Amino acid sequence: MSTPAVPGGPGLFTGFTKLCKGLAVVLVGGHILVQVFPAVVSYLALIPARTIPFAWNLITAGYVEQTVYGVIVSTVGLLFVGKLLEPIWGSREFLKFIFVVNFITSLCVFITAIALYYITQEESYLYLPVSGFYGILAGFLVGIKQIIPDQELPLLKLRTKWLPSLAVLVSIAVSCWTTGAATYLPTIIFGTYISWIYLRYWQRKPETKLKGDPSDDFAFSSFFPELLRPVIDPVASIFHRLLCGRSESSNDSEDYTAAGAPLPGSDPIEASRRRERGARALEERLAAERLAAARSGQESGRDATENV
């Protein structure tokens, strides 16, 4: 199968799903709300010292962008990446992914802030308002890595499987030069990791009744260069046993059978088929966009001829 090209042309700005448009309205509306009523940040953003009793901010924090730059990046990322992921996963699964990743990421940020306070006794960790869609955007990159890992970005000459790793690396590098890194760096790191856990172990496949993606190409060590994988794999196997109750190095009979029945999430063939479906869906979408662009060009040329 040929590798699909990256979207381009006039069709790039069409085909956004209704769900993504609705979520984009929520992001823009949340930003406008905190600009008009700044006090709302105290109730919607994640402020660890106030999370109890304001526990709802574990959910709302992910949809509140406090800066214009943040709302633009989040809205654009949601619309364009959602246009690829939602048709493949389905609207219900896409929304579930966003909710689960957002909630658990916020919970991890909350626990980290409390731990840092007890370690350093710095009250700033308790009262710094943390919010934004960055964790979910990082999770979207993990979804792209899973579906079309070998797609090459023409501008960067980089395969999409490295996008999550690159995003985390750039975020860490930028955090060394900015003072506001605490508001987004933990969210991006946890968003990347939680989304990988969700897709690796939890995501259900209704058509096969399996869970997760056990393929080697989507292993935790695949986020790192080949040189580091011998070091990463033994550590990752510990968490693998905790999450699914078996070692990464289990033999085929342990992985694929249990009293004659397949174990959930143990079918690498399904993982390969999912990537093929992702590439095929992207090819079909690109073909439709190119056709729409060609028709638009023909109509424009016809109108110009008639006007002359």
Residue 15 has pLDDT above 90, yes or no: no
pLDDT number for residue 281: 58
Q: Which of 2-11, 197-206, 252-261, 297-306 is predicted least confidently?
A: 252-261
Domain limits of the chain? 18-241
pLDDT number for residue 293: 54
CA 236 to CA 95: how far, in whole Å? 28
pLDDT number for residue 114: 93
What's this model's pTM, rounded to 2 decimal places? 0.75
Q: Is there a contact between 94 and 139 (Cβ–Cβ < 8 Å)?
A: no
* Bridge partners of residue 258, in order along the sequence: 261
pLDDT in tens, 69-101: 999 999 999 999 999 999 989 899 999 999 999
- Radius of gyration for the alpha carbons in the chain, expressed in angstroms and rounded: 22
Residue with tokens 């006039």: 10
Kindly state the helix (H) or strand (E) to which residue 293 belongs, with its residue range: helix 268-307
Identify the burial level of 229 via C-beta atoms within 10 angstroms of its C-beta, where 0-12 means exposed, 13-18 middle and 19 or more buried: middle
Residue 115 has pLDDT above 90, yes or no: yes
